[in-house]
Structure 1
Amino acid sequence: MYGLLLLDLLEYTMSVEEIFEQYLGSKIYRDREKLLPDYVPGELPHRDEQIRQLAVTLAPALSGSRPSNVFIYGLTGTGKTAVTKYVLRKLMEKGNGRIEYVYVNCRQNNTSYRVLAELGKFLGIKIPFTGLALGEVMKRIIHGLERKSRILIVVLDEVDNLVKRNGDDVLYFLTRINEQLSNAKVSVIGITNDLKFTEFLDARVKSSLGEEELVFPPYNAVQLEDILRQRAKEAFNEGAISDIVIKKVAAIAARQNGDCRLALDILLKAADIAERERASQVTEAHVEKARNEIEKNLTVDTIKTMPLHVKMVLAAVYLLSRDGSTKTITTGLVYDKYKELAAKIGIEPVTSRRITDILNELDMSGIINARVISLGRYGRTKVIEIGVPLKNVEEGLSSDILLKAAIEEA
């Protein structure tokens, strides 16, 4: 803690000019951009099969045919977006201007209107920030496509965020749009982390979108090491990082479902910490600091985006843990505390069965740990404890104004 305070003090006392000069003469980085999440390298190790499958699916575009729609599944950080962009760029190079693609992140653009507005922007169509009926926006997009007279591949990344929030109207429109086009052709690539996502789709959309499906398996530790070595070679000065550090970062990410994005985030954060400390090499200590900071941010962000009743159940567990007078936190105690919170906020509580489901969801996310114990002739119950630092839970819950007031009063 003292070291971090000293580092903060050093940064505080440095002038703006000194800070900028430090980064101009970096001891760590050759090219920091190579570690950023939107960078697509010239080679993608351990994704040859997925690259080949996607290339085979999209290749008909080169002869003027509409490629099949593709649905891509896989956990976070398995290379879905990178492979998609990599193959599409190669396809455009071969297409001599006849093939284009537009990429839309549906987490950032999570309404039907925003997704269509992004598509309109790509086509050079003026669509106001709000105000038009969706039907009118769709008409303008059809006219814009006809003017372009191209094969357009629409990539909808994290498409589950759009459908769960707004339904599948946009997907239905895009998968049926070719019926209204004469000069242009449209194919859709949907990317999702949710392996059960298709359960939310209308049967007609499911059949149209899922003409081809690709599944991306998680990376293992050895594969992650190869990826990190490749990026490190491009991003760092010679001698700025050791193989021990790369193995450590890969091992951490391998334990988190082989999440390559997490591995790159940790490596980038560790290098930034080393840079701020004016170190000449990224060390294992820098990796530990980076991991703690990222895990904290992930927990807080996850809690902030939870539905209200899930937050309330977590708040109940948090309050029972913070109080400390209850050694064993059971499902029954959580439900009683949850009902107290619901009464304070003025919200109708859900059933005890739903509370059990929510506790299971929180357990799967790692935010709480729940284990079943036997009470002999009294049956069985769950014993619950917080699985992350209490201050992180409090920070996440405090972003909700209603809950913040209820927690402060408790």
Structure 2
Amino acid sequence: MPTDAIYNKFIEIIDQEKKIVLLILDEIDQAVKKISDNFIYTLTRLNSELKNTQIGIVGISNSLTFMDDLDPRVRSSLGEEEIVFPPYNALQLRDILTERAEQAFNMEILQEGVIAKCAAFAAREHGDARRALDLLRVAGELAEREGSETVKLKHIDTANNKIEKDKMLEIIENEPKQFQLVLHSIMQLTEDKNFEKIFTGDIFNRYQNICEITKNEILTQRRISDIIAEFDMLGLINAKVISKGRQGRTREIKLMLSKNITEKAKDILKKSLDL
């Protein structure tokens, strides 16, 4: 069905009676990366075509710099109000974990301090409640495999290492080839003693060289910058935006993989990229 036909049908359906429609777009930054920000502009212009209905838009993003990358025309049309929700702290995570643990465990089998330790680990990981729940689940599974009658503090440490390792390596192994080429470039530069600091331009230059060697298509620098931003969100790297004066802004990149994971990641990339 043509896009215009879908658009007209959407207008027809929502404008049948007087009401306020709230469009909630989760991970809106990812949608923009995939299909550009034109769709946001289109949505902001909807009210001028509606007779009965008024539309409001809520965009949810984990990226604090998402709005900076929008076309000025889109930002102007959006007229946004930004609301930043702070991450859960350790006390809030402990409350969430306690409520879930009471449903999943006999609380007597949890060693004192287990829930607090899970919460503390997750609070360090940007207050991620999902990470806290995964930690407790994996710790319980590890205790069960050992035949332990108690989920102990040591199980939390083991679970944390296992989750970190499994998550990172799975991400690296399943990323598209172009993502793997960019990550390989970052890893090479990290080991290169000639580079005390790594910037986006350095990565693009190294990426071009690797693409020429491996005979892969070379993407634009803008696309490579998008991939770097995704790596930052995944926790593979830390990308700090810095100003270079008249030269504009760039990002300073730091690899966030442990030595053990880095060595295994190298093997995965070499095999995948035929290096």
Cα offset for 1:144?
A: 2.0
Aligned residue for 1:330, secondary structure, equals coil
Within the alignment, does 1:158 sit opposite 2:36 as a pair? no
SS class of match (2:123): helix
Q: Over residues 267-309 of structure 1, what are the superposed CA-to-partner deviations in whole Å (9 max), with x where a residue is unaligned? A: 233234445556544322332332223212332354344782x
User: For structure 1, which segment, 218-227 or 154-163, has the greater mean C-alpha deviation from structure 2 after superposition?
Assistant: 218-227
Deviation at 1:143, TM superposition (A): 1.6
Partner of 1:193: 62
Query: What amino acid sits opposite 1:184 in the alignment?
Result: T
Matched, 1:255 2:124: yes
Distance in 2, matches of 1:385 and 1:297, equals: 15
The one of 22, 40, 48 aligned to 1:171: 40
How do 1:9-408 residues align onto structure 2 when only pairs under 5 Å count?
132-147=1-16, 150-275=19-144, 279-303=148-172, 304-305=174-175, 308=178, 311-312=180-181, 314-315=183-184, 329-331=192-194, 341-347=210-216, 367=236, 387-388=258-259, 389-390=261-262, 392-394=264-266, 397=269, 404-407=272-275
Q: For the residues of structure 2 that align with 1:288 and 1:276, how far apart are their CA atoms? A: 16
Residue 345 of structure 1, CA deviation? 1.4
Task: Confirm or deny: 8 A CA contact 1:366 1:387 kept in the other structure.
Answer: no
Instruction: Answer whether contact 1:331 1:384 (CA < 8 A) is retained.
Output: no
> How far apart are the structure 2 equivalents of 1:337 and 1:189?
39
Sort the Cα spacing of 1:148 and 1:184 in 2 relative to 1 into closer, same or farther, 3 A: same
User: Secondary structure at 2:64's aligned position in 1?
Assistant: coil
Q: Which string of whole-angstrom CA distances, capped at 9 and with x for unpartnered residues, describes residues 289-330 of structure 1?
A: 32223212332354344782x633543576799xxxxxx742
**C-alpha separation in 2, matches of 1:168 and 1:360:** 16
Q: In 2, Cα distance between the equivalents of 1:217 and 1:133?
A: 41
Which consecutive residues of structure 1, in runs of 5 or more, have no partner in the other structure? Answer: 1-131, 322-327, 370-381
Taking every aligned residue pair, what percent have the same amino acid on both sides?
37
Q: Call closer, same or farther: CA 1:175–1:267 in 2, change over 3 Å.
A: farther
Structure 1 residue 208, shift from structure 2 partner: 4.6
Q: Distance in 2 between matches of 1:364 and 1:175?
A: 27
Could you tell me how far apart the structure 2 residues matched to 1:187 and 1:360 are?
28
Deviation of residue 196 (structure 1)? Answer: 0.8
Q: Could you say which residue in structure 2 is the equivalent of 1:378?
A: none
Q: Distance in 2 between matches of 1:225 and 1:290?
A: 17
How far is 1:158 from its partner? Answer: 0.8
* Amino acid across the alignment from 1:387: S
CA 198–368 in structure 1, closer or farther in 2 if over 3 Å, else same: closer
TM-score by length of structure 1 reads 0.49
> Which letter maps to 2:89?
N
Given that 1:164 and 1:200 are in contact with CA atoms closer than 8 Å, whether structure 2 keeps it comes out as: no
**1:396, CA displacement in angstroms?**
5.5
**Is residue 368–residue 387 contact of structure 1 (8 Å, CA) maintained in 2?**
no
Contact 1:221 1:251 in 2 (8 A): yes
Other structure's SS at 1:299 match:
helix
Q: Secondary structure at the match of 1:291?
A: helix
Structure number with greater CO (CA < 8 Å, separation at least 6) is 1
Q: Any gaps of 5 or more consecutive residues in structure 2? A: 196-201, 239-252
Cα distance in structure 2, aligned partners of 1:405 and 1:263: 34
How far is the alpha carbon of 1:157 from its aligned partner?
Answer: 0.8
Distance 1:301 1:397 in 2: 12
Letter in 2 for 1:138: Y
How far residue 168 of structure 1 moved from its aligned partner, in angstroms, is: 1.7
1:161/1:236 CA distance change after superposition, 3 Å: same
RMSD: 4.2
The answer to whether the Cα contact below 8 Å between 1:149 and 1:183 also exists between their aligned partners in 2 is: yes
Q: How far, CA to CA, are the matches of 2:177 and 2:76 in structure 1?
A: 30
Q: Distance between the aligned counterparts of 2:254 and 2:24, measured in 1?
A: 44
8 Å contact 1:150–1:183 — kept in the other structure?
yes
**Per-residue deviation at 1:405?**
4.2
